[in-house]
Structure 1
């Protein structure tokens, strides 16, 4: 199913995706990317850091923004062009992350949409903040 086209999107539109970070998510992401940094996979070493334990990869959390963009708003057929990210708080195993996007600006002449991109944990704390530029699918 094709996502929303530029004519179907309005400023202020929102979409969400939630997922609880599991142990297997951390190891699968490490395996796919090759990032086996001790902060992610070694509890004893991670306890020596400012986080006092293992944390999820920042880009794993940011990937949930891509899920919202590619499956909900604008949805299937959308091309990701830019993403600016600020990582604000660590995400730990068993945190439930809610990725949220909101349409900020629409550029119909260029078929572009600017989005506010955020991730919150189960305590509603902002853990990731940013903006993205996407190209929604064109009408057939």
Structure 2
């Protein structure tokens, strides 16, 4: 990875209000097991069907931090893209997301602060029936290089 030049996402002057990104995701068992392995989060609500059946959720739910990860990954990969940095996020989880469910994310650039090199991205996610699952905003610094690294 070192020494290999990476493409950066778009700079603030290349972005426009109204730009959007649509993603469709499904969380599988392998995704949950990776999360549990990385975080050592043993919440039985995430993986134990017998436990979850005794709760108001009735079946295992996807950890909210995994859903937040999908949002941050979309920002890092696509809007504005590689080199972006998230300053703040305000996210509300309206309904639980269950294992194997398919859900749709919408990210829309709603504000641009050129002087502060910061954009506001509105985020929403809904299930296949159109029920709102997630809503919020994310404040992001698009990539901005202060100086070029010399390559040897």
With normalisation by structure 2, the TM-score equals 0.87
Q: How far did residue 17 of structure 1 move?
A: 2.6
Please give the secondary structure, in 2, of the residue aligned with 1:110: coil
Number of the residue aligned with 2:79: 73
Tell me the distance in 1 between the aligned counterparts of 2:121 and 2:55. Answer: 34
Question: 84, 93, 97: which is aligned to 2:99?
Answer: 93
Q: Which runs of 4+ in 1 moved over 4 A?
A: none
Number of the residue aligned with 1:22: 28
Question: 7, 18, 24: which is aligned to 1:12?
Answer: 18
Listed as ranges, the gaps of 5+ residues in structure 2 are 1-6
Tell me the distance in 2 between the aligned counterparts of 1:108 and 1:79. Answer: 15
Larger mean CA deviation between 43-52 and 98-107 belongs to: 98-107
Does structure 2 conserve the Cα–Cα contact (< 8 Å) formed by 1:65 and 1:100?
Answer: no
Larger helix percent: 1
With normalisation by structure 1, the TM-score equals 0.94
Listed as ranges, the gaps of 5+ residues in structure 1 are none
Q: How far did residue 23 of structure 1 move?
A: 1.2
Tell me the distance in 1 between the aligned counterparts of 2:15 and 2:35. Answer: 32
Number of the residue aligned with 1:123: 129
Larger mean CA deviation between 128-137 and 20-29 belongs to: 20-29
Q: How far did residue 41 of structure 1 move?
A: 1.4
Q: Could you report, residue by residue, the CA deviation over 1:55-94 in whole angstroms, capped at 9, with x for unpaired residues?
A: 1101111111112100111001101111111011111111
Tell me the distance in 2 between the aligned counterparts of 1:105 and 1:114. Answer: 5
Q: How far did residue 20 of structure 1 move?
A: 1.1
Tell me the distance in 2 between the aligned counterparts of 1:41 and 1:120. Answer: 22
Tell me the distance in 1 between the aligned counterparts of 2:101 and 2:39. Answer: 21
Does structure 2 conserve the Cα–Cα contact (< 8 Å) formed by 1:61 and 1:119?
Answer: no
Number of the residue aligned with 1:135: 141
Matched, 1:52 2:87: no
